[in-house]
């Protein structure tokens, strides 16, 4: 990272991706402050930075925080992210993901902080009409979670036009894996991500996993997804932060490996990594699950020079397995 010794506010920094980001920022000698209400995050995941527990929607807290620290930029990871839950509790998602982000942006403007990195999602695209998915693909979310993320992206574009607030929105595909040392990893409750669920089945913590849909138009009938290691995600954020601090313009990027793996591929590779048989049962499709989601990450590779270090799924699963074993 070029811009060392910068002061960065990481909102949601005690979560899975945020904690990996805090570690990389600290390694880059940035002065990091973490704001997290610990509703889904975990204090024990933090490997650096000053920690402040509080709610993003608390404007008084934000004003005290910005008055006490001359932040160079803000990185925003705090969001509810369960698609199914968002279908049943949409206002819960609009308040947390959208309204509280408004409070954060207002505080930034009051204190003249105008560099913003946003954790977005491939869910903004909805049902794909072309594979791989580029940033020019139409955005048509199929659930409130995706709607809230797209609404924030549009709000950021408006804030750039009105206030000169420069931002980078990073649209994640399937974040996976864990820190190499096994000190940071996924601690979701409930766990909804495929790889940690598969590893729980490998370890006997659950009897089996359910494979939702085996009749898709794919090589083995199961859904295909693009998995990207969480450290590669964090590295992309560092490059995006550098670009903004160097005076770069606002931008939106996909973050994926550009490789697609089916659910059965994941199970097979997890069996190879763990040396254990992973039982599964076939179940009906879940509403709204696209057959294939694979990113084109050519834009960020071209603009920022980013490329994934963890370039195959077995390497990603191995890091997740190391983390899983350390939790026993």
As a whole number, mean pLDDT of residues 192-221 equals: 94
- Per residue in 161-176, pLDDT tens? 999 999 999 999 999 9
How does residue 328 score in pLDDT terms, banded at 50, 70 and 90? confident
As a whole number, mean pLDDT of residues 257-284 equals: 96
CATH architecture of the domain 194-225+258-326 equals: Alpha-Beta Complex (3.90)
Q: Peptide bond before 94: cis, by omega within 30 degrees of 0? A: no
Predicted model pTM: 0.95
- pLDDT exceeds cutoff 90 at 151: yes
Q: Which of 24, 18, 81, 27 has the alpha carbon at shortest distance from 51? A: 18
Residue among 16, 93, 125, 145 flagged as catalytic:
145
Parallel, antiparallel, or unpaired for β 260-262 and 224-229? antiparallel
Is residue 145 annotated as a catalytic residue, yes or no? yes
- pLDDT exceeds cutoff 70 at 308: yes
How does residue 319 score in pLDDT terms, banded at 50, 70 and 90? very high
- Per residue in 66-86, pLDDT tens? 999 999 999 999 999 888 899
Q: Provide the CATH topology of domain 7-176+227-255.
A: Rossmann fold (3.40.50)
How does residue 1 score in pLDDT terms, banded at 50, 70 and 90? low
Give the integer Cα–Cα distance in Å for 40 and 279: 29
Contact present, 51 and 14 (Cβ < 8 Å): yes
Q: Per DSSP, what are the bridge partners of residue 176? A: 229
- Per residue in 210-263, pLDDT tens? 999 999 999 999 999 999 999 999 999 999 999 999 999 999 999 999 999 999
Give the integer Cα–Cα distance in Å for 195 and 177: 8
What's the DSSP call for residue 5? T
Give residue limits of the domains in the chain.
Answer: 7-176+227-255, 194-225+258-326
As a whole number, mean pLDDT of residues 306-312 equals: 93
As a whole number, mean pLDDT of residues 148-172 equals: 98
């Amino acid at each position: 990272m070029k811009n060392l010794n910068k002061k960065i506010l990481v909102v949601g920094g005690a979560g899975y991706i945020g904690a990996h980001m805090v570690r990389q920022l600290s390694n880059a000698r940035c002065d990091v402050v973490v704001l997290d209400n610990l509703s889904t995050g975990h204090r024990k995941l933090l490997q650096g930075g000053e920690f402040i527990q509080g709610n993003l929607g608390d404007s008084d807290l934000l004003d005290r925080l910005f008055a006490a620290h001359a932040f160079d930029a803000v990185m925003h990871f705090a969001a509810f992210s369960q698609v199914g839950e968002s279908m049943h509790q949409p206002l819960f998602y609009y308040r947390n993901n959208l309204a509280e982000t408004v409070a954060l942006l207002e505080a930034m403007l009051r204190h003249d902080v105008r560099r913003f990195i946003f954790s977005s999602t491939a869910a903004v695209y909805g049902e794909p009409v072309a594979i791989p998915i580029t940033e020019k693909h139409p955005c048509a979310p199929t659930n409130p979670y995706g709607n809230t993320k797209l609404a924030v992206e549009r709000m950021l574009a408006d804030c750039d036009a009105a206030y000169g607030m420069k931002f980078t929105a990073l649209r994640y595909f399937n974040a996976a894996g864990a820190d190499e040392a096994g000190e940071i990893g996924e601690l979701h409750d409930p766990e909804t991500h495929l790889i940690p669920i598969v590893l729980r089945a490998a370890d006997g913590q659950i009897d089996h996993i359910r494979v939702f849909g085996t009749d898709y138009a794919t090589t083995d009938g199961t859904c295909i997804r693009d998995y990207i290691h969480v450290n590669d995600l964090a590295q992309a954020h560092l490059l995006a932060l550098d670009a903004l601090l160097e005076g770069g313009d606002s931008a939106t990027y996909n973050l994926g490996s550009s490789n697609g793996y089916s659910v059965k591929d994941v199970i097979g590779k997890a069996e190879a990594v763990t040396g254990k048989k992973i039982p599964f049962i076939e179940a009906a499709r879940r509403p709204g699950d696209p057959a294939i989601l694979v990113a084109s990450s050519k834009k960020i590779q071209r603009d920022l020079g980013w490329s994934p270090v963890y370039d195959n799924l077995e390497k990603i699963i191995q890091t997740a397995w190391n983390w899983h074993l350390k939790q026993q």
